[in-house]
Structure 1
Amino acid sequence: MVVPPWLSVPPPGYGGLEQVVAGLVDALVDRGDAVTVFGTGRESGTAGDFVSTGPELQYHRLGESLPELAHLARVNHLVHSADFDVIHDHTTIGPLVAGRRAVPTVATVHGNPVGEYGTVLSDTDHGVGLVAISHAQRRGNPRLPWVGTVHNAMPLRDFPRKRAPGQGPVLWLARFSPDKGPEVAIRVCRRAGLPLTLAGKCNEPAERRYFEQVVEPLLDDDVTLVLNADRDTALRLLVDARCLIMPIQWEEPFGMVMVEAMATGTPVVALRRGAVPELVRPGLTGLVCDHPDELPAALLESSRLDPADCVAHVAENFSAERMAFSYESVYHSFLATRVRPGRREPAPVSIR
């Protein structure tokens, strides 16, 4: 399991990819698989073995290409076909360099596979299989070498849950970016006459600049601001919230926070973009709107939804156990195309 060099697995706060990988590793180990996690830093909090390619996490260099390339180069030197059956890569650049490995690679695409990222993925080596995290993501670029679709998920054992509809404020929980629509959330909640908690990641220069220029001038007494919440704080906010608002302004390929909200029993009110229709069951676990003008009424209506229905929906569709089973199926089907009859060793991976 190859993770990016930026954050620990699992992360202490924001880090959806790392949360997903941590749940996947533990669930695979529970199923009897031997898993090794290749990352940076000094330790991992998963049940898998941990191999570090460097002593320090590289979060302060997030956005640069060289730290990830150096990390991947070290991984490629460390993996051998005698030790591993398959590599599961979660990095951005991994699909471009995976063809140099002696072990077959599947790579989960965690971003929106269009634009520059789509161009990078279109040059994926022929021996690498890409896994989508939603059908919407896959439809966004159907020509890529997809080998499966597996929804993100999480371990649910220790998740806090509400027993009755939340009476707290509406919650927006995301990174401060125009894609996530925090300014839309403020205006919509004011129209509905409901208080709002803005709990946002605001570490990177672009996030701080957007917050200062666009969001901060809109703040007033009806908005509670929580910056860079840790994991425990985020979960408490989800449990206490009336609902989670997702006024996204882009084709979000997944949106893990929606699953986290429903896992606590908190319904989701969202715009119909990206993977939202795959995650939320309208009228049962949330309300999906086609236009921002529909959001105020949906926020008010969300209080009638049963928290137990939200929790049951996540348990059935987004458990770490189900994700692990689905990825095992992808591994087996992918390896079946890579192994020569009568041999245990994978066929050599060609490099274009």
Structure 2
Amino acid sequence: MSGGLRVLVNAGPWLPVPPEGYGGIETVVATLVPELRRAGAHVTLATVGPSTLEADDHLRILDEPAFRSIAMPYNRVSGLAHAHMQGVVAALRDQDRWDVVHDHLEVVGPSVLGAMGTAAPPTLQTLHWDLRKHPEFYSRFDGRGRVRFAAVSASQLERAPRNLQEQTLGVVPLAAPPAVSVDVEPGEHALVLARITADKGQDLAARVCRRAGIPLVLAGPVAGIGDPAELERRLADGDEALRAHPDVQYWLDEVRPLVDGTSVRWVGGVAGEAKERLLRSARALLTPNRWAEPGATGVVEALSRGVPVVGTPLGVLPSLVEHGRTGFMAADEDELVRRLAELDRIDPRACREAAEQWTPAGMARQYLDLYARLLEANPS
């Protein structure tokens, strides 16, 4: 199913699509939508004002992205996701012009769309997060066959409550966005390409690279701030709300003391050609995660460019990285140091070949199959 299918893709209120630098979910949406349209689907994107991704139509509900507020206390930010969904609901009620909703908004998306019943089209939500979060919701939610789910990895789905597993139509691995064409010379640095937060392990990466004698570049925002000068200015100006953000506390206490501008550099958020140059010239992408990451688009991006991956064997990573062929999985800091000394064993061609199984077109085909199954179970 593709030609004539009308899909409302709900990216949520947090970041523009495509994102400017960091933005995992929004990067997935930006990779998927063009392929759905290429396959003949008519796609409306529900997003925020600054989004620039081409689609057949847009619902721009909030004027500005809300990501910088996402980690603030619940009673200060709970209205953001609901304000976005209020705009989605209004469109669905006023316009009978979509066959299926593809939702990407954690918890709030399925709960609101499920409450609409037959007033909303059948809904498929992609689960981008750790499914041990929100156990009270996922162990009780009943989509009544009209709201169903897609996981991004088998390891993610294994961690889900049985109630959620039973409502999941399938697993669709994430694909890397198309590469930006640039000419770069090989560099000496390792790279961590992720927002700076304790779960991503930037402090561990810094210690490991110092011990291994490999320069490290950290690329990603702190609390939604991708400009290092802006972060320092706001902290110097006494922005106590920002200082209280858990990612800022992690940066100040665990990471910034290791950043010396030479052996360890933080370049802030990167996108487009700047990101491509950093990634293509890296000796390795480091993923020293402390959490079971469900999808890891950055890993697929690196492999598709011939860059090996060295990280911890948690979540989806062991299914993406073939130990000894496309990178290394290491359980602790000492082993990470040892594996960085073995990077010359990895053939970049093997990395690129491995990444061929995760293409944007393939991801779109799998989603179109799930849409068809969802609609077959919910005839109009």
TM-score when scaled to structure 2?
Answer: 0.83
- Counterpart of 1:120 in structure 2 is 137
Check the 8 A contact 1:156/1:263 in 2, yes or no.
Answer: no
2:299 is paired with a residue whose SS is helix
Q: How does 1:147-158 map to 2 (within 5 A)?
A: 147-156=169-178, 158=180
Query: Matches of 2:64 and 2:220 in 1, distance apart?
Result: 25
Question: Structure 1: which amino acid aligns with 2:178?
Answer: L
- Counterpart of 1:91 in structure 2 is 105
Question: Structure 2: which amino acid aligns with 1:58?
Answer: A
1:198 is paired with a residue whose SS is strand
Q: CA deviation digits over 1:204-252, x for unaligned, max 9?
A: 5322221111112223442122122234322211111110111111111
Distance 1:261-1:103 versus aligned 2 partners, 3 A rule: same
Query: Matches of 1:128 and 1:8 in 2, distance apart?
Result: 25
Q: CA deviation digits over 1:167-212, x for unaligned, max 9?
A: 4211122111111111111221122222211223213532222111
2:208 maps to 1:188: yes
Question: Structure 1: which amino acid aligns with 2:135?
Answer: G
Question: Structure 2: which amino acid aligns with 1:30?
Answer: R
2:67 maps to 1:59: yes
Question: Structure 2: which amino acid aligns with 1:86?
Answer: V
1:138 is paired with a residue whose SS is helix
Query: Matches of 1:331 and 1:322 in 2, distance apart?
Result: 14
Unaligned runs of 5+ in 2: 1-8, 72-76, 225-244
Query: Matches of 1:294 and 1:29 in 2, distance apart?
Result: 45
Distance 1:212-1:4 versus aligned 2 partners, 3 A rule: same
Q: CA deviation at 1:62?
A: 2.8
Check the 8 A contact 2:189/2:215 in 1, yes or no.
Answer: yes
Q: CA deviation at 1:82?
A: 3.7
Q: CA deviation digits over 1:18-54, x for unaligned, max 9?
A: 1110111100000111111111215532243212223
Check the 8 A contact 2:180/2:272 in 1, yes or no.
Answer: no
Question: Structure 2: which amino acid aligns with 1:146?
Answer: T
Question: Structure 1: which amino acid aligns with 2:160?
Answer: N
Choose from 111, 127, 140 the match for 2:129.
111
Choose from 27, 31, 42 the match for 1:19.
27
| Greater displacement, 52-61 / 262-271 | 52-61
Q: CA deviation digits over 1:50-79, x for unaligned, max 9?
A: 122233333343342211111112211212
Query: Matches of 2:366 and 2:315 in 1, distance apart?
Result: 21
Q: How does 1:45-84 map to 2 (within 5 A)?
A: 45-63=53-71, 64-79=77-92, 82-84=96-98
Query: Matches of 2:335 and 2:199 in 1, distance apart?
Result: 19
Query: Matches of 1:60 and 1:183 in 2, distance apart?
Result: 22
Question: Structure 2: which amino acid aligns with 1:261?
Answer: A
Q: CA deviation at 1:11?
A: 1.1
Q: CA deviation digits over 1:271-309, x for unaligned, max 9?
A: 100000121122222112233321112112122322222
Distance 1:239-1:109 versus aligned 2 partners, 3 A rule: same
Choose from 296, 308, 323 the match for 1:255.
296
2:58 is paired with a residue whose SS is strand
Unaligned runs of 5+ in 1: 340-344, 346-352
Check the 8 A contact 1:96/1:123 in 2, yes or no.
Answer: no
Report the aligned-residue RMSD. Answer: 2.0
Query: Matches of 1:160 and 1:276 in 2, distance apart?
Result: 27
2:217 is paired with a residue whose SS is strand
TM-score when scaled to structure 1?
Answer: 0.89
Query: Matches of 1:228 and 1:21 in 2, distance apart?
Result: 19
Percent identical pairs in the alignment equals 36
Query: Matches of 2:299 and 2:324 in 1, distance apart?
Result: 15
Distance 1:56-1:247 versus aligned 2 partners, 3 A rule: closer
2:283 is paired with a residue whose SS is coil
Distance 1:56-1:282 versus aligned 2 partners, 3 A rule: same
2:363 maps to 1:323: yes
Query: Matches of 1:182 and 1:95 in 2, distance apart?
Result: 33
Question: Structure 1: which amino acid aligns with 2:300?
Answer: V
Q: CA deviation at 1:2?
A: 0.6
Choose from 208, 212, 215 the match for 2:248.
208
Question: Structure 2: which amino acid aligns with 1:285?
Answer: T
- Counterpart of 1:290 in structure 2 is 331
